[in-house]
Structure 1
Amino acid sequence: MQKNTKIAVIEDDENLRFLVVHRLESEHYQVIQAANGKDAETLILEQKPDIVLLDWMLPERQGSEVCANLRKAGFNNLIIMMTAKSQDVDKIDAYSFGVSDYITKPFNMDVLIAMIENKVKFFVNNANDSLHFGNTEHHPNTHSLIRDGKKIELTILENRILLYFLQNIDRVISRDELMQVVWGYSSNVNTRTLDMHIVRLRKKIEHNPDKPLHLQTVRGMGYKFVAET
């Protein structure tokens, strides 16, 4: 049975593109594809896929430029950047391309499918592409916040953390659970790294980060997110 979700695979490596497209089609997704950045932009703006799997390094136009151009043209659906493992994710975070998320190469196909299924569940099948807490709107597809008419950019990792909290309002979440969800299998992440991201996120979402109302610390257990204060 064919799924309604349409996915664009933008990858210049023919073998990898074939494998990804084949696996997605075997999972009954509708798939379109392109091998360079220029063709990708045209294809995506014409076909308006629900999810774009976009390679970082592309001929003619890099993935970052393609992503930025799509956002400027009004494309607001999910864009997942496929990046080489050697590339620094924080470097990607530093730029406001409008990437929704990323997956590092080489990736396991089962991991990719699980990620896409999660995106379909929480975004594609959910007509409302924004979440609310207090007087703030969270737009996870473009990793940004809107508060008092002003746009606040989130890094990809901050976006993942906030989204998980908003999917689990009022539930105490341990640091281990949060690290597994946000960084996955990465073994070089420790609680200090997580806490640093929490501090940065609080500066963006709290009126007084030193006395947080939304993202609360539960001593000895982890964190809890309170939407209405």
Structure 2
Amino acid sequence: MNKEIKIALVEDDENLRFLVGERLQSEGYKVLESNNGEEAEKMILDEQPDIVLLDWMLPGKQGSEVCASLRAKGFDKLVIMTTAKAQDVDKIGAYNFGVSDYITKPFNMDVLVAMIESKIKFSLSSSEKTESHKFGNMEHQPNTHLLIKDGRKIELTILENRILLYFLKNKNKVINREELMMEVWGYNADVNTRTLDMHIVRLRKKIENNPDSPTYLQTVRGIGYKFVY
């Protein structure tokens, strides 16, 4: 893995910023730090880091505003939002300001590092500047949550984005519900299979020509799902 990877760490809690910064540097990443929104935005546009770790609550300019502004100015790299509580994830809600993913505080450093490493493996190892996956008449761009279908842009929520990406990386493989829930919601998630199935239904509406008789995202009775293309 190319360790000259730049991570912008935007966090106004000095202790947390110090701890995360130290850990990321010990893993070999180059870390740029900022504690407020305006300064962070300028730094990110100037430095073009590979990954941005962006706190949701910032003085001056909220994380969501910073992210929306970066996207509007053409920044298309990974932006991971750090939120104080799981409920805020619903506020990332409309997900329409372009966050790639999120992690809730307090987070375990090992989990954060593992998340960053898996993101890097998938997004920076592809030869293209921006990761994308094509299937049927569609193209999925996970960093910006876009699904392009017949030339039209369809926005995915963060969870739909995670689900689709996992399927695309495991095509033609039967994925059981537990594995999918662990992948999408993580270890400490209090989530049931009905919630998962609801997200699958929504995702099918976006990708299938006939959601009731899906071509791609197929149900495997009693086990889970399989993505075929």
TM-score, L = length of structure 1 = 0.96
CA distance in 1, matches of 2:81, 2:91: 13
SS at match of 1:173: strand
Q: What's the RMSD between the two structures over aligned residues? A: 1.3
- Name the amino acid aligned to 1:113: V
Identical amino acids, percent of aligned pairs = 70
Corresponding residue of 2:216: 214
Corresponding residue of 1:33: 33
Corresponding residue of 2:207: 205
Structure 1 gap ranges (5+): none
Which 10-residue stretch deviates more, 66-75 or 84-93? 84-93
> Do residues 54 (structure 1) and 54 (structure 2) align?
yes
Which 10-residue stretch deviates more, 83-92 or 177-186? 83-92
1:126 positional shift? 1.6
- Is contact 1:2–1:29 with CA below 8 Å preserved after alignment? no
CA distance in 2, matches of 1:4, 1:48: 13
Corresponding residue of 1:191: 193
Which of 160, 170, 173 is equivalent to 2:162? 160
Superposition misfits of 4+ residues, deviation over 2 angstroms: none
- Name the amino acid aligned to 1:25: Q
- Is contact 1:5–1:124 with CA below 8 Å preserved after alignment? no
- Which deviations, in whole Å up to 9, do the C-alpha atoms of 1:147-199 show, x marking residues without a partner? 12211000000000000000001000000000000011134201000000000
Corresponding residue of 1:121: 121
- Name the amino acid aligned to 1:226: V
1:221 positional shift? 1.5
Corresponding residue of 1:73: 73
Corresponding residue of 2:106: 106
- Is contact 2:95–2:158 with CA below 8 Å preserved after alignment? no
Corresponding residue of 1:145: 147
1:2 positional shift? 7.6
Which 10-residue stretch deviates more, 66-75 or 128-137? 128-137
CA distance in 2, matches of 1:86, 1:169: 30
- Name the amino acid aligned to 1:184: G
Structure 2 gap ranges (5+): none
CA distance in 2, matches of 1:35, 1:90: 24
